[in-house]
Amino acid sequence: AQSVAQPEDQVNVAEGNPLTVKCTYSVSGNPYLFWYVQYPNRGLQFLLKYITGDNLVKGSYGFEAEFNKSQTSFHLKKPSALVSDSALYFCAVREQAGTALIFGKGTTLSVSS
Amino acid sequence: DAMVIQNPRYQVTQFGKPVTLSCSQTLNHNVMYWYQQKSSQAPKLLFHYYDKDFNNEADTPDNFQSRRPNTSFCFLDIRSPGLGDAAMYLCATSRDLFLGQGSHEQYFGPGTRLTVT
């Protein structure tokens, strides 16, 4: 069965510092990986995806993620955090033939000024 | 420029009293999804429509039903809400269903928070 793990409930970083939000996955076959962000009282917003190709994927708002097949990871990164990046981040996986997005439980990112 | 709209944003219902949540989209997408997100948990897919074809997830309780009268609208009906059904309900859309068909990113609405008293 597919599953996604986000090992950190909360990540705290200072503005201007690099940030990493971790995600590991378990899926049979090739994984299709996604990151979404949820701001308070807002729906989930798509950030980026990995389907195939280059392991480093660039997305919205300066975020990027690195797909590592041997470690079954898809960590979200940003070189310089902004206070406005503070939100709830979800990693999700989907099997090629399936339709459901399987989400991790989410990681709250808090960026302090 | 809202693309996926959910009404109401907050809904309070009584134990056992049927309730309907509404979702509409301006994207003209083929697929509409309903997710349940309980407190501090990940969103969980309940079912989806591809056009008029309804697909129920295997573990979705019978208490949850859905209707899609046209492309733009999709409803979530909870026939007899229990206390355990209190959650955020998220509607999402995508242009296509399978990854090979093109754009399959899901666009989410703001959610409806359901309270059961």
Token pair recorded at residue B87: 């959650």
Q: How many CA atoms lie within 13 A of B99 on its CB side?
A: 18
| Confidence band, pLDDT 50/70/90 cuts, at residue A89 | very high
Q: Note the pLDDT of residue B103.
A: 61
DSSP bridge partners of B19: B78
Per-residue pLDDT at B34 exceeds 80: yes
For B111, which of A43, A49, A94 is closest by C-beta distance?
A: A43
Q: What is the pLDDT averaged over residues A7-16?
A: 97
User: Which of B108, B112, B113 best tests the A interface by mutation, with the highest count of A CBs <10 A?
Assistant: B108
Give me the residue from B40, B90, B97 closest to A44, CB to CB.
B90
- Does B107 sit within 8 Å of A103, measured CB to CB? no
User: What CATH class has A3-112?
Assistant: mainly beta
Q: How many CB pairs under 8 A join A and B?
A: 50
The domain limits of chain A are 3-112
**In angstroms, what separates the C-alpha of B11 from chain A's closest C-alpha?**
14
Neighbour count for residue A80 (Cβ, 10 Å): 12
> Which domains, ranges and CATH numbers included, belong to chain B?
4-103 (2.60.40.10)
- State whether B42 and A36 contact (CB < 8 Å): no
- Interface membership of B87 toward A (CB under 8 Å): no
A18 or A28, which is more confident:
A18
Q: Is B99 on the interface with A (CB under 8 A)?
A: yes
Model confidence pLDDT, tens digit, residues B87-98: 999 999 998 876
> Is the predicted pLDDT of residue A58 greater than 80, yes or no?
yes
Across A76-101, average pLDDT: 89
Could you list the beta-strand ranges (E) of chain A: 3-5, 10-14, 19-21, 24-26, 31-38, 44-50, 56-58, 64-68, 73-78, 87-95, 102-103, 107-112
